[in-house]
């Protein structure tokens, strides 16, 4: 009887090992793939980028090659408030109609809340009725970058800051002329600099 139980245990252990092996292998492949992507992203994020620089009055200064702004997760937590951190560093979204920037109509410049890169001018701002600040174009195409976003089971185009990779929001093709685009941007990603008279 003891021999039969031992043999049964060994058979169950072998079956369990055979059953678990494909999942363990798939897990190792996923971890390896993720580490490879993280390494590539870290290497990409450590270089220089080209942006167009603007003064606080919104006047174009020069196109410049600058160091990418890179911080650890711990450093970003210290530099940003909780809303800014979760929106810009983890792709969260502000609640609609909860901020004030969607209501602002005065002249000024919208900079990245993480690195102060110039992103949008109030001249391209419009009231989209969505409850988020909306723009028909960035202040300079080089200052933002776009990538495909398939989260929430839909295809969207994510907008990020070129200089620090902050998540800004998304761009849609239902905006006004001249571009017919709507850059739907989170207030937590922006810092508004009013134009001095």
Tell me which residue of 147, 159, 179, 139 sits closest to 54, measured CA to CA.
Answer: 139
Antiparallel, parallel or unpaired: β 190-194 and 182-185: unpaired
State which of 3-7, 40-44, 51-55, 153-157 shows the largest mean pLDDT: 51-55
Give catalytic status of residue 164 as yes or no: no
32-51 per-position pLDDT tens digit: 444 444 444 444 446 999 99
pLDDT higher at 99 or 8: 99
pLDDT > 90: percent of the chain: 73
- pLDDT at residue 16, as a whole number: 53
Antiparallel, parallel or unpaired: β 156-161 and 167-172: antiparallel
Q: Where does 46-194 sit in CATH, by number?
A: 2.170.150.20
Among candidate residues 112, 114, 161, 184, the one labeled active-site is: 184
The pTM of this model reads: 0.76
What the block records as the tokens of 38 is 């993280």
Is residue 112 within 8 Å of residue 189, measured between CB atoms? yes
* Cis upstream peptide for 178 (omega within 30°): yes
90-108 per-position pLDDT tens digit: 999 999 999 999 999 999 9
Which residue carries 């690195």 as its tokens?
A: 115
Rounded distance, CA 194 to CA 106, Å?
Answer: 7
Average pLDDT (61-86) is: 97
For residue 84, the SS3 value is helix
Rounded distance, CA 6 to CA 29, Å?
Answer: 34
Is residue 109 within 8 Å of residue 195, measured between CB atoms? yes
Rounded distance, CA 60 to CA 38, Å?
Answer: 35
């Amino acid at each position: 009887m003891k021999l039969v139980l031992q043999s049964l245990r060994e058979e169950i252990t072998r079956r369990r090992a055979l059953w678990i092996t494909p999942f363990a292998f798939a897990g190792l492949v996923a971890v390896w793939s993720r580490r490879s992507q993280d390494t590539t992203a870290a290497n990409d994020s450590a270089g220089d980028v080209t942006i167009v620089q603007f003064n606080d009055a919104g006047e174009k200064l020069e196109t410049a090659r600058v160091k990418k702004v890179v911080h650890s997760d711990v450093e970003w937590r210290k530099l940003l408030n909780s809303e800014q951190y979760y929106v810009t560093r983890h792709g969260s979204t502000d609640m609609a109609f909860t901020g004030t920037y969607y209501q602002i109509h005065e002249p000024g410049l919208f900079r990245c809340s993480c690195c102060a890169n110039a992103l949008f001018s109030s001249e391209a701002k419009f009231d989209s009725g969505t409850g988020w600040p909306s723009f028909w174009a960035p202040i300079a195409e080089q200052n933002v970058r776009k990538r495909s976003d398939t989260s929430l089971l839909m295809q969207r185009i994510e907008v990020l800051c070129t200089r620090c990779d902050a998540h800004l929001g998304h761009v849609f093709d239902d905006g006004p002329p001249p571009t017919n685009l709507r850059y739907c941007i989170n207030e937590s990603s922006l810092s508004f600099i009013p134009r001095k008279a």
